Amino acid sequence: MSEEKPARKTEWMRQGNRRAIAIITGAVLVVGSVVGVQAFAGSDTYQHMQLASEHKSHWHGHKRFSEISSAEIVDRVERIVKHAAIEIDATPEQQQKIIALVTATAVELKPVTSGMRATGKEMKQLLLATTVDRTALEKLRAERLADAEKVSKDMVRTIADIADLLSPEQRKILEERVEQFCHMRRCLNRG
């Protein structure tokens, strides 16, 4: 009988240890989950997810730039700027100024891109005509070069204006994100 008492006591201690381990493990899981959720809620990933859920999916009915309305341009520019703003920790004032700059440039360049897109059809018509109108071809070429020059100047001006709004640290972070994006695109395109 004396041998049964130590065995019972040992069994009870083992069960007690198991209970303590289970309680401690449960408490650690609860605390870890709360801390993890709070950390995720403050992360850039969560902020990007919030932005994505606020907007209609832009993948359905994807249109070319020349086919979208000015309101759709504003919506897309705002979404893109807000995603970038998360990465560089831009202030609301910076975001609004950048949105205004990019939107103005995009709306201004929309007709130019529409004209450039039509160039292929125009050249085809000129080249398939009974006689090739070299003067019309040269005029079309000169017009498109002028359009390309306008696009180039407007884009550089807008990019420089945006750079002036950002701090050197924000520009450095933006450069790193662009490099990461380009690297991902190259890797994806290689197949």
79-110 per-position pLDDT tens digit: 888 888 888 888 999 989 989 998 888 888 88
What residue ranges do the domains of the chain occupy?
68-190
> What confidence score (pLDDT) does residue 131 get?
92
> What confidence score (pLDDT) does residue 40 get?
53
> What confidence score (pLDDT) does residue 169 get?
92
> What confidence score (pLDDT) does residue 72 get?
84
> What confidence score (pLDDT) does residue 65 get?
67
Q: What is the pTM of this model?
A: 0.58
> What confidence score (pLDDT) does residue 9 get?
57
pLDDT < 50 positions in the chain: 46, 53, 57-60
Please report where in the chains the tokens 């380009």 appear, as a residue.
Answer: 182
H helices of the chain, in order, are: 4-41, 44-54, 70-88, 92-128, 134-165, 168-190
> What confidence score (pLDDT) does residue 135 get?
94
What per-residue string of b and e applies to 69-83 under the rule 16 or more CB within 10 Å gives b? eeeebbbbbbbebbe
> What confidence score (pLDDT) does residue 60 get?
44
CA angle 182–183–189, rounded 5-degree value: 85
